[in-house]
Chains A and B, each alone.
Chain A
Amino acid sequence: MSPFPPQIRVIERGWLSANNIVFHEGAEATLIDSGYLTHADQTLALVERALEGRKLVRLINTHSHSDHIGGNAAVRRAHGCRILVPAGMAPAVADWDEDALLLSTAHQQAEPFAFDATIAPGDELEMGGLVWQALHVPGHDMHALAYYCAAERILIPGDALWRDGFGVMFAELHGDKSGLPAQRRTLEMLRELDVRVVIPGHGAPFTDYADAVGRALARLAAFEQSPERMAKSAMKALFTFTLLEKRRMPRADIGRHFGQVAIFRDVSRNFFDREPAAVAALVIDELLKAGVLAEEDGDIVARGN
């Protein structure tokens, strides 16, 4: 049995594209997050299916990362909908600042889009005939918003909380020491909410809320104790993301890739005090051992290839 009211449709995607959530509102509909640029055609097909004949009038983002905003422009082209973004990310989108949006720095893609309005922390908005409160959930993204429906006890946390963990601490990786303390405040705030079901940015919806917050806090504590552990975990996540898009890379090229892409290069030097190529070798070995990636004819390949 679905844990959601019938007007909420959750489209579970993978890691390169964030989940899409469609809210039926009479003859109209709202969408949260649009997936990754290279998946835009499938996103449009899935959203079309979930609309069930309704007109998409609004697209709302949880935060500014490429796996959540990559399809914004395509969705607007297809539906002519309004786009609402968290207020904190608005300047970076308006200027299409590829550094601030972590596109150039992490070798990721998104298509520029225009937005029509912003959502500030504390704002209330109606989606699917329900009232949702926008909650500031900094940490993974310092401007991220979660959407919480108290009446139905549903939380849409973006990447601030997953069933097992949370998104990469980008601010910390870029040398901003406020990232981990922000994530702690975020998790401690979320812990106090009365939540029946979570629709995370990635992974299946889940109901074991207290346990998930507990797991996230334990992971955070480990990162607070060991910045290197945080950095290694982030490098593995980010390189996996890269491979999911490229599907395969010659092993011999990956060291150079780490030297060229800002986040890999800077984190290698700042957190490991090692050359990017050495960190690349470490990251690849651990991902191969964990079975996340595989090796084939001298190439490192994404799982399922």
Chain B
Amino acid sequence: MSVPSPCIDVCRMDAQSGLCEGCLRTVDEIAGWSTATDAQKTHILAAIAQRRASLLPPLQKGGRGGFNGGES
């Protein structure tokens, strides 16, 4: 219970990527968060960081409005 949730209250699934536009988690990762172990949560956070690096730039270049302005 010590790994904080990455939720930033955007809470909207992007149909194309299957990820939440705010925290970049899948439905399974969000629904399962409260019963995930700390190790699993840390793994999800690392995956999010990778998705942020690899997913966001092309989506932004493509002019998609879904990511709420993307990273600041």
Contacts and interface: CB of A to CB of B under 8 A. Distances in A.
A132 B60 CA distance: 48
B12 A39 contact: yes
Given A46-B27, A49-B28, A204-B34, A305 B1 contact: no
Interface string A1-18: 010100001111111110
Contacts of A205: 1, 34
A233 interface: no
Given A9-B31, A49-B27, A244 B9 contact: yes
Given A205-B1, A247-B68, A305-B69, A50 B31 contact: yes
B13 interface: yes
Q: Chain A, interface size: which category?
A: 35 or more
A15 B35 contact: no
A31 to B, nearest CB: 13
B19 to A, nearest CB: 11
A11 B7 CA distance: 12
Given A205-B34, A296-B72, A42 B9 contact: no
Interface in B4-29: 5, 7-13, 20, 22, 27-28
Nearest to B3: A204
B31 A304 contact: no
Contact of A302 (B8, B12, B27, B28): B8
Contacts of B20: 42
Nearest to B33: A12
Interface in B25-50: 27-28, 30-31, 33-35
B54 to A, nearest CB: 19
Contacts of A245: 9
A153 interface: no
Contact of A46 (B22, B31, B68): B31
Contact of B12 (A41, A244, A294, A301): A41
Interface of A: 2, 4, 9-17, 35-36, 38-39, 41-43, 45-46, 49-50, 204-207, 244-245, 247, 294, 296, 301-305
9 contacts: A11-B31, A14-B11, A38-B11, A38-B12, A39-B11, A42-B30, A49-B27, A244-B9, A304-B9
